[in-house]
Amino acid sequence: MRSPRRCSRNGCPRQAVATLTYVYNESTAVVGPLAAFAEPHTYDLCEPHARSLTAPRGWDVVRHEGEFEPPPPTTDDLVALAEAVREAARPAPRPPEDDREQRAHSTGRRGHLRVIPPNL
């Protein structure tokens, strides 16, 4: 399942709800609702970082005035979640009875451990 987009600020674990874009030739930073797709040269921000963003001296900040809301889940997300739940609910296949007996009495290695058969 695709994970939600996170804030681009270092160390921020929050979900992104806004996108920051710079218009360099107009010395403007634009903070708007979260873009549909992550694009190069844009930054996803959580609500606290979107609201508190400041620009360098001489630059303008154009900020979305409405509420920043997380994007609704897409149908891809819902289908992936349903498939993951179905997969987790399936019982693990059991090996045939003969295989289990044979493995119980055989010698083998598992990583750094060695299985020693019981004395008969």
Q: What is the pLDDT of residues 39-72, one digit of tens each?
A: 888 999 999 999 999 999 999 999 887 777 776 6
Q: Which of 47, 6, 39 is nearest to 21 (CA)?
A: 39
Percent of the chain with pLDDT over 70: 68
Q: Is the pTM of this model over 0.85?
A: no
Q: What is the largest CA-CA distance in the chain?
A: 87
**Average pLDDT of the residues in 78-103:** 67
* 20-29: pLDDT as tens digits: 999 999 999 9
Q: Has residue 110 got a pLDDT over 60?
A: no
- 42 forms beta bridges with 21
Q: What is residue 1's predicted lDDT score, i.e. its pLDDT?
A: 40
Confidence of residue 91 (pLDDT cuts 50, 70, 90): confident
Q: SS3 of 97, please?
A: helix
Q: Please, are residues 15 and 68 in contact by the beta-carbon 8 Å criterion?
A: no
* CB contact at 8 A, 33 and 50: no
Given a cut of 80, is residue 81 above it in pLDDT? no
* pLDDT higher than 60, residue 3: no
